[in-house]
Amino acid sequence: MRICIDSNQFIFGISGTDPASENLMLLLPNLDVVIPRLVIKEVIRNLDDIQTKLLYALLGKAPHVKIIDEPVPLTLVKKYIDSGLPEKADAFIGAFAEWQGVKYLISDNRHFLSEIVGAAFEVLRPEAFIYQYRQTIA
């Protein structure tokens, strides 16, 4: 199952401010993840040097995490803007998730959780995703 992880989950997980996000980071080596380069840039802007090194070490141990540089189709971005997501990052992430065929977008972002209706993917908080994941491997 392919997933996308929003920047806040990386920041919370690496900085140790949210236990569910930390657990999500520990699962990365076992997950099929796609992330837009924009998310990685945002994460790095919000981490200190030691945390950034931890992030890269973690990504180095996660062979199925792919950072995507290709541009997201503008028609999909417009679709998410029209659905009410803020234009800059949120509509872009929603469009990216659909474009990459993810099953779940992992986020605590209130816009994703409340405003995306009928998307091609499901938005889950990290604890809900971890629960789902554990059910599939049990």
**Which CATH number belongs to the domain containing residue 84 in this structure?**
3.40.50.1010
Please state, rounded to an integer, the average pLDDT across all residues of the chain: 91
pLDDT tens digits for 106-124? 998 765 645 666 678 888 9
**Residue 130 pLDDT:** 97
What is the Cα–Cα distance from 123 to 129, expressed in whole angstroms?
9
How many folded domains does the chain comprise? 1
- Host domain of residue 127: 2-137
Percent of the chain residues past pLDDT 70, beyond the cut: 92
Strand order through the sheet with 32-36:
65-68, 32-36, 2-5, 104-106, 122-124
Calculate ∠ Cα 107-14-119, nearest 5°: 15
Res. 100: pLDDT tops 80? yes
pLDDT tens digits for 68-88? 999 999 999 998 888 888 777
Residue 41 confidence class, pLDDT cut points 50, 70, 90: very high
**Residue 108 pLDDT:** 87
DSSP per-residue codes, 30-89: GSEEEEEHHHHHHHHHTS-HHHHHHHHHHHHT-TTEEEE-SPPPHHHHHHHHHTT--TTT
Instruction: Count CA within 13 A, CB hemisphere, residue 47.
Output: 25
φ, ψ for residue 67, nearest 5 deg = -95, 120
